[in-house]
Amino acid sequence: MQKLKADLLVIGAGSGGLSVAAGAVQMGASVILLEGHRMGGDCLNFGCVPSKALIASGKAAHAQAHAQIYGVADVTPQVDYAAAKDHVADVIAQIEPVDSQERFEGLGVRVIRDYGTFVSPTEVQAGDHLITARRIVIATGSSPLVPPIPGLDTVPYETNETIFELREKPGHLLIIGGGPIGMEMAQAHRRLGCDVTVIEGMKVLGQDDPELTAVVTEQFRAEGIGIAEDAMAAEVRGATGAIEVETKDGRVFRGTHLLMAVGRKPNTDRLDLETAGIETTRRGIRVNASMRTTNRRVYAIGDVAGGLQFTHMAGYHAGLIIRSALLALPARERTDHIPWVTYTDPELAHVGLTEAQARAEHGGNLKVIRFPYNHNDRAIAERRTAGLIKVMVVRGRPVGTSIVGAQAGEMISLWAFVIANKLKMKHVAAMVVPYPTLSEINKRAAGAYFSPKLFDSAMVKRIVGFVQRWLP
């Protein structure tokens, strides 16, 4: 057994773990990084990167089939599903070097390609290495949750960890789960020529504003995607090419392939956390506001910490660890400024409180400002007028923003900045944006907040009248 010591041990080479390791070693700490699977973790290999690449393929096919509105003839796209997967693999390959073992070893990180297990509160074993460190960061991420649906153990199915390696185009893809992963994959596959049915036990995109999700589901149905809500899967049967999903209310859905997309579970099984005195909850490892576990030497970040499951959240956590574990500076997690995006078409983006949450928290002090895409000149020019923005405002300060529409994921960044820095609507109203851009929607929302005060105010009209009478 080889004994190793370091200032910092990072378990997991996903986005959060890599960010901690890179930052720490460049600031002078000695760092050991453990990864038993693929460098880059879920985001690079099975999540954000491949899904957005496949979505891009679907968008290209959809554009060919819906060009007539721009004065260009519609054509039937010739989709090569296997070639689309080659595109996905190539995108991963181009990004891979940034997350590679070679790069991190070049930075000075000791990389060990094995899983880590606690053998005491202060020691982790990885293969034939026994590691002690002043601080340990668990960044092991999450994996697809596969519920114990009767029959599922005998029926072939895909998850986000396998769907991107599938080379044969599904004839009819059944997707159990109407969250972001399920909905993104549903639209991408439909646009690539598959029949698709989404089977959701409650409501699709149930964590988002229902007024906005209705815009997405309307587009899905227009594209021919089947959406079955309040459809809890009770039994799965069949084989590849002939799969059936029966729901508790007796409905039966038939397809050729099955994708399970019902949620995520934290990757903690290999760690033996009990030996380290680390408590867990149903959602993941228990942490305090500084991301410290019940073992004061150990931190947990990203998906495994049981909070918001986004790559950028793991990166944010990494910054907290750098402040706390390396610099001994105060660092406390906040989530009110964390945005999230579902990359459907139209996109769905959100930061802060939803309208329902804001009404519950702020009551009569809340003002909800809306502005539609169909009043934006750029959206009209590009025929992308489906959508709207909603800004939840309390005493002049935005507490949440929801956007559905073209490039919503890009436009939400402004509101994440505003909320992170506790700015007010006057600061958004003061900016000048180029014309014509979709970003004007953000500016116009701020204008809509102030318009009643300016144009419907008797006092303002009296002042203007007085000035005009006496102005030389």
Rounded Cα distance, 233 and 176, in Å: 8
Contact 164, 88 (CB under 8 A): yes
Contact 169, 193 (CB under 8 A): yes
Place of tokens 């990004």: 95
Rounded Cα distance, 44 and 338, in Å: 20
Rounded Cα distance, 46 and 181, in Å: 11
Determine the residue type at 300. Answer: A
CA 252 from centre of chain: 31
Residue ranges for the binding site?
A: 52, 116, 140-142, 177-184, 200, 263, 303
Provide the H-helix boundaries in 382-457: 408-420, 425-430, 440-455
Q: Which two tokens stand for residue 119?
A: 């053998």
DSSP bridge pairs for 33: 10, 111
Contact 450, 398 (CB under 8 A): no
DSSP class of residue 323 equals I
Rounded Cα distance, 66 and 287, in Å: 49
Residue ranges for the binding site for FAD?
A: 52, 116, 140-142, 303
Rounded Cα distance, 395 and 425, in Å: 9
Residue whose C-alpha is closest to residue 237's, from 343, 117, 154 = 154
Q: Which two tokens stand for residue 295?
A: 């073992």
Rounded Cα distance, 47 and 43, in Å: 4
Burial bucket for residue 87 (CB in 10 Å: 0-12, 13-18, 19+): middle
Torsion 439-392-374-72 (CA) sign? positive
CA dist list (Å): 398 to 109, 136, 332, 372: 42, 37, 22, 18
Residue ranges for the binding site for NAD(+)?
A: 177-184, 200, 263
Torsion 288-293-297-301 (CA) sign? negative
Contact 402, 412 (CB under 8 A): no
Rounded Cα distance, 9 and 139, in Å: 10
